[in-house]
Structure 1
Amino acid sequence: MSYSINELAKLAGISARTLRYYDKQGLLKARRNPENNYRYYEESEVDQLQKILFLKLFDLPLEQIKQVMQTSPETQYQVLRNQRSKLVAQQQYLGDLIKNLDKTLATMKGETQMTDTEKFATLKKEMISKNEKQYGTEIREKYGDAQIDLSNQKFSSLSENELAHFKKLTAEILTELKNFNKTADIKQAAGKHLFDLHKEYLLTIWPKGQYSGEAHKKLSQMYVCDPRFSKYYEAATGNPEAAKTLKAIIEYYA
């Protein structure tokens, strides 16, 4: 079945302007009627648009979606399978969150009791979910699903004291980095102290055997290559060079 640009836009719930933009960007090329040069779309373009809109739901940038759409059908299938796995994990997370919240409400009414482990389980899952949403694609590409899953499992198993220590380390790193930027000499004792804090931070959440100087350096590359990390450290320290400073320290001592 053939669709005009307006018909396909209505079917997909998007604007004709969006379809024209996709055409211009080479993301979804329309066919042209030889008689009037109007755009139209066949079944293959409809299937492509469905995949594009699915990938957009996963917050992938258009350039990355374009790259995926230029790969083989097998690769596209695997990308969508991976996204499905993430959705299933998110569904399980939300189910656990609802159960934990229901138990919290019941505890508040005196109908049941929660262990200390149960009280903090939801908090840890929320932190994992937030991290996956923000950086999951990048860190999984860099370290692999197996390593990230193990890291999430270890974080989930942290005790109340270990979780408090993790939060303390996070705050200390940002405080030390903010103060260190005033001196900017990574060879000073403050530089080594900051490195030690960051290494301890990683050892707290990375699975046993994952840490190495090379892995530490690889992570520091993300701090400057990914603007989200750079903005995080800039916002936390008030210094736009904070991520670069932390990377330089890690590369010097790791």
Structure 2
Amino acid sequence: MTTINTRSDPLTKKGKIDLIELAYDKKGLLRARRDSDNNYRYYDETEVDQLQRIMFLRLFDLPLDQIKKILDKSEAEQYQALSNQRQHIIVERDRLSSLLVNLDKTLATMKGASKMKDTEKFAAFKTKTINDNETQYGKEIRKKYSNSTIDNSNQKFNSLSEIDMTHLQELKNQILAALKSLVGTQNLDQPAAKQLFELHKEFLLMTWPKEQYSPEAHKGLAAMYVSDPRFTKYYEEGTGEKDAAETLKAIIDYYA
């Protein structure tokens, strides 16, 4: 038997560890027995291995519910899940490396050491856009669509040309202008509403991998526009209309 000393004392570090393990117990991730004399937890070798896997997966900031799903799978499925996580880390490493390179070039330019070429400025702009989006929305959209989906979307965005980016900005402006005139409408079966839907779909197809798009995914994103105050604020400020996000969601739900 393996003994881990974690008596229930909320004022000590040991007590904090005990509370963490209690959370694992409640989620069905880890089971332990207690010695009635000293109140220590006892784990056998299998349970210690399980605890090590839990602690390892926690390093990736995975929620306990997701960790339980992974550990409930077969060895082959666990291997695939960890392989997917590895790929996500590689993509994140490359993104941060690119961001660091562009930052160094910007700093050098500010000191007068060199001038950034237009292509370098454009690459830096795309990297910053991806980074800002990750910072602001990354946690929510990755939870909803998975790491691989968002990584692929970021890669597609990073491959856009300057012409593509100009068109993307034009689409954003057209969407907001079309939405502004439709806010509050109850008549969704009209050309203007259909046109707004097509504009929004075109925008998604430019930023999402083609195989990622589906009516369900489109509706799922629209639901976030209403449930997440940050998305709601974007459409309200962009149109100057209070119920803009709700109207856009209704139109997407109707035509998707």
TM-score (norm 2): 0.74
* 8 Å Cα contact 1:174/1:237 also seen in 2: yes
Report deviation, 1:201. Answer: 0.6
Deviations 1:184-221 (A, max 9, x none): 321123312211211221232245xx279xx3412223
* 8 Å Cα contact 2:57/2:67 also seen in 1: yes
Q: Is 2:201 the partner of 1:199?
A: yes
Match of 1:127 in 2: 129
Partner SS for 1:26 = coil
Which runs of 5 or more residues in structure 1 are unaligned?
A: none
Deviations 1:136-191 (A, max 9, x none): 354358xxx5x766644432122334324323433543554455331132112331
Q: State how 1:165-180 maps to structure 2 within 5 Å.
A: 165-174=167-176, 176-177=178-179, 179-180=181-182
Match of 2:110 in 1: 108
Identity %: 45
Q: Is 2:237 the partner of 1:235?
A: no
* 8 Å Cα contact 1:30/1:41 also seen in 2: yes
Report deviation, 1:225. Answer: 6.0
Match of 1:3 in 2: 4
* 8 Å Cα contact 1:117/1:160 also seen in 2: no
Q: State how 1:127-166 maps to structure 2 within 5 Å.
A: 127-129=129-131, 130=134, 133-136=139-142, 138-140=144-146, 145=148, 151-166=153-168
Task: Tell me, in whole angstroms, the C-alpha distance in 1 between the residues paired with 2:193 and 2:179.
Answer: 9
Task: Tell me, in whole angstroms, the C-alpha distance in 2 between the residues paired with 1:91 and 1:132.
Answer: 15
Q: From the superposition, tell whether residues 176 and 52 of structure 1 become closer, same or farther in structure 2 (CA, over 3 Å).
A: farther
TM-score (norm 1): 0.75
Partner SS for 1:40 = strand
* 8 Å Cα contact 2:180/2:244 also seen in 1: yes
What RMSD over aligned residues (CA atoms) do the two structures have, in Å? 3.6
Letter in 1 for 2:53: K
Select which of 156, 165, 186 maps to 1:184: 186
Match of 1:70 in 2: 72
Match of 1:220 in 2: 218
> How many aligned positions are there?
244
Report deviation, 1:247. Answer: 4.7
* 8 Å Cα contact 2:109/2:116 also seen in 1: yes
Letter in 2 for 1:77: Y
* 8 Å Cα contact 1:31/1:41 also seen in 2: yes
Q: State how 1:16-95 maps to structure 2 within 5 Å.
A: 16-33=18-35, 38-95=40-97
Task: Tell me, in whole angstroms, the C-alpha distance in 2 between the residues paired with 1:43 and 1:171.
Answer: 60
Task: Tell me, in whole angstroms, the C-alpha distance in 2 between the residues paired with 1:171 and 1:32.
Answer: 63
Partner SS for 1:180 = coil
